Amino acid sequence: MAENNKGEFTLYLPSFSLKNKVIVVTGAGRGIGRAIAIGMAEAGADVALLARTKEDLEETACHIHNKGRKAYVLPTDITSRMEITESVEEVIKTFGKIDILVNNAGMNIRSQALEVTDDEWQKIMDTNLKSAFMISQEVGKHFKEQESGKIITIASVAGHVALRTGVVYAATKAALIQMTKVLALEWGKYNINVNSIGPWYFRTPLTESLLKDEEYVNDILAVTPLKRIGELPELVGPAVFLASDAGNYVSGQTLFVDGGMKIQGF
């Protein structure tokens, strides 16, 4: 940032642009991941799209191409270290670099604690938590070498307050919030920013069935100060802020995008 001889800045508004940034988004085939991938392309980025379903990724890629940016479809099961490693290497070979990683992929099996099976525990843990750590390691190696990088992980309000949507999911989201802090601590010296976003409800395939239930929606609105469900662009904005130069001094934080829900008391 340019300073004059009086220590004053010639410009006080950093850029929110992501022009020519290379961004990896996991879970980019649907919902929040698709929205963030397209929104970051609108901000000027080229995006590598990871998920298991190729057709979904190709649809996201089509939106990005229509924005005049590059999209690279990489069908990847992010619970597999081998598939992660191959895809990360492919992105670096193709684009020459990675600037930002968005850990978005996740799933839930909504059940009461006494009903949770070992297999369900493992599936939720592997998909939401272990995958994010593994891909953060693989991309983090690259960020350390280039002495720059940003990681944005999609956690949840479920990682901070108690919800009725499942204890295992909540545990993974709480762990992601804490992983964000420790990675920010360890990797700050390499100029790597690590942050999370904690959404409340947004309309996606993951929540579609719930948000069709008027009574359930009323329960959500009763604990949401802004009294409405969020719209996906309202989640993309905070993600672009953290990814851009405007967020360069933010690290280790979780930005809750929740209509005020997290602070709801009585």
Beta carbons of 140 and 99 less than 8 angstroms apart = no
Helices (runs of H) and strands (runs of E) counted in the chain:
9, 7
Q: Looking at 21, 25, 27, 87, which residue binds ligand NDP (CB under 6 A)?
A: 27
| Residue 169 to residue 41: CA distance in whole angstroms | 29
Q: Looking at 94, 122, 147, 205, which residue binds ligand NDP (CB under 6 A)?
A: 205
Instruction: Give the contact letters, 163-192, x = binds to ligand NDP (CB under 6 A), - = no.
Output: ------------------------------
Residues 66-125 close enough to bind ligand NDP by CB under 6 A: 76-79, 104-107
- At residue 111, the 3 state secondary structure works out as coil
Rounded to a whole number of angstroms, the minimum distance from the CB of residue 32 to ligand NDP is: 4
Rounded to a whole number of angstroms, the minimum distance from the CB of residue 105 to ligand LFPNKLMZ is: 13
Rule CB under 6 A: is residue 256 a binding residue for ligand LFPNKLMZ? no
Beta carbons of 160 and 203 less than 8 angstroms apart = no
Question: What do you get for the CA distance between the two ends of the chain, in Å?
Answer: 44
Q: Is the C-alpha dihedral spanning 42, 43, 47, 49 positive or negative?
A: negative
Rounded to a whole number of angstroms, the minimum distance from the CB of residue 23 to ligand LFPNKLMZ is: 23
Task: From the list ligand NDP, ligand LFPNKLMZ, none, pick the one residue 165 interacts with, judged by a Cβ distance below 5 to 8 Å according to partner type.
Answer: ligand LFPNKLMZ
Rounded to a whole number of angstroms, the minimum distance from the CB of residue 213 to ligand LFPNKLMZ is: 11
Question: In this structure, how many other beta carbons lie within 10 angstroms of the beta carbon of residue 66?
Answer: 11
Q: Looking at 26, 156, 204, 224, which residue binds ligand LFPNKLMZ (CB under 6 A)?
A: 156
Rule CB under 6 A: is residue 108 a binding residue for ligand LFPNKLMZ? yes
Question: In this structure, how many other beta carbons lie within 10 angstroms of the beta carbon of residue 231?
Answer: 11
- At residue 168, the 3 state secondary structure works out as helix
Residues 207-246 close enough to bind ligand LFPNKLMZ by CB under 6 A: 207, 210
The residues near 233 (Cβ < 8 Å, ≥ 6 apart) are: 35, 39
| Residue 201 to residue 258: CA distance in whole angstroms | 7
Phi, psi at 6, each rounded to 5°: -100, 5
Active-site amino acid positions: 169
| Residue 102 to residue 154: CA distance in whole angstroms | 8
Rule CB under 6 A: is residue 129 a binding residue for ligand LFPNKLMZ? no
Instruction: Using CB under 6 A, list all residues that contact ligand NDP.
Output: 26-27, 29-33, 51-53, 56, 76-79, 104-107, 127, 154, 156, 199, 201-202, 204-207
Instruction: Using CB under 6 A, list all residues that contact ligand LFPNKLMZ.
Output: 108, 110, 156-158, 165, 169, 200-201, 206-207, 210
